[in-house]
Amino acid sequence: MALPTVLMPGPMNRSVPAGLDGRFEVIRLWETDDPDAVLAERAKDIVAVANAGTPIDGAFLDRLPALQLIANFGVGYDKIDANAAADRGVVVTNTPGVLDDEVADTALGLLLMTVRQLPQAERFLRAGHWQERSYPLTPTTLRGRTMGVVGLGRIGEAIAHRAEAFGISVAYHNRHRKDVAYRYYPTLLELATAVDILTIVVPGGDETKHLVNAEVLAALGPDGILINVARGSVVDEAALVDALRNKTILGAGLDVFEHEPEVHPGLLEVDNAVLLPHVGSASVPTRDAMGGLVVANLVSWFDHGVPVTPVPESADLVRRGDG
């Protein structure tokens, strides 16, 4: 019996092709001389896509009439039009859970680096200045601070637990109140006014684009720290640059950017921003686990007709069993 055909538009973590080998026929589209011709020729055979960052919209979906499942590598899937997929009976999955701790660790690392100016201190040492004078005292500390978590999902809760271990009080803003001990604020502006650390963990997409704007940054205030380990599009980067330059807020720690890998030049110019190249989940064990979940979703779907981790937009398809 022929193996199910999976389209892989671009390179993926080693664990994905290794896990698919022998169970699926894999079309490595980026290795072909004429991707459009390959898609046209094999369109009726392709029943799944293993995807890592390639935009997938309705037009792309319409080219694959036999498609049943898109297995996304990552928790965020804003580059996939999941509603368009659901309209066409295509299930979308992602990789939640396996990267929570790694991303939460990165968020706390960014916070420590930003508050205590650790990157600046290291640059000071490497430049040889310690031979001449001591590094200046940092103007602030973690002590007595309150963190506001925007998006108290799995990763948000993991960040909150770590913050508590550092003696930081926690509050949050969600679309809906959760059964947790943390104080809830019904609007982002109210949360920003009440805290001095604002940590962003919401998905990207049109609904959250520029959710953190100039008004929110002003509410965070001159002792405020912004941490973003979610999606760069959630923050208005031009407003953030102005806030950092004008000391509207104290600093920012960013692992994601609005047009990555391009970084707003203003962010590169200011010294009160710590910038990382989207490495939140970028450890070998975590990326292998993410790849393993991509494979598990594909195997479970074609063996049992049920994916392991469907996204919310696919819930009705999974319940009906007619993906």
Q: How far apart are CA 4 and CA 151, in angstroms?
A: 37
Nearest-CA neighbor of 19 among 220, 288, 201, 307? Answer: 288
Q: Reply yes or no on domain 5-98+285-320 having CATH 3.90.870.10.
A: no
Nearest-CA neighbor of 287 among 105, 99, 109? Answer: 99
The whole-number pLDDT of residue 246 equals: 98
> Residues 163-217: pLDDT tens digits?
999 999 999 999 999 999 999 999 999 999 999 999 999 999 889 999 999 999 9
Indicate yes or no: pTM above 0.85: yes
259 is catalytic: no
Tokens at residue 23, please?
Answer: 């169970």
The whole-number pLDDT of residue 322 equals: 52
Backbone angles phi, psi at 262, to 5 degrees: -70, 140
162 is catalytic: no
Q: How far apart are CA 250 and CA 139, in angstroms?
A: 10
The whole-number pLDDT of residue 321 equals: 57
Tokens at residue 151, please?
Answer: 């998006």
Domain boundaries, the chain: 5-98+285-320, 100-275
287 is catalytic: no
The whole-number pLDDT of residue 290 equals: 97
Q: Please tell me if the domain spanning 5-98+285-320 has the same topology as the one spanning 100-275.
A: yes
Options 145, 231, 264, 287, the catalytic residue: 231
Q: How far apart are CA 140 and CA 120, in angstroms?
A: 14
Q: How far apart are CA 93 and CA 72, in angstroms?
A: 6
Superfamily of domain 100-275: NAD(P)-binding Rossmann-like Domain (3.40.50.720)
Question: DSSP character for 64?
Answer: -
Residues of the chain scoring pLDDT < 70: 320-323
The whole-number pLDDT of residue 280 equals: 96
Instruction: Determine which helix (DSSP H) or strand (DSSP E) holds 170, and give its type and residue range.
Output: strand 169-173
Q: How far apart are CA 307 and CA 72, in angstroms?
A: 12
> Residues 253-286: pLDDT tens digits?
999 999 999 999 999 999 999 999 999 999 999 9
**What angle do helix axes 100-115 and 118-126 make, rounded to 10 degrees?**
60
The whole-number pLDDT of residue 319 equals: 73
Q: Nearest-5° angle of CA 186, CA 311, CA 85?
A: 115
The whole-number pLDDT of residue 2 equals: 87
Q: Are 80 and 56 in contact (CB under 8 A)?
A: yes
Q: DSSP letters of 209-265?
A: TT-B-HHHHHHH-TT-EEEE-S-GGGB-HHHHHHHHHTTSSSEEEES--TBTTB--H
For 4, 68, 85, 99, 115, the CA distances from 314, given in Å and listed in that order, are 21, 11, 8, 21, 40
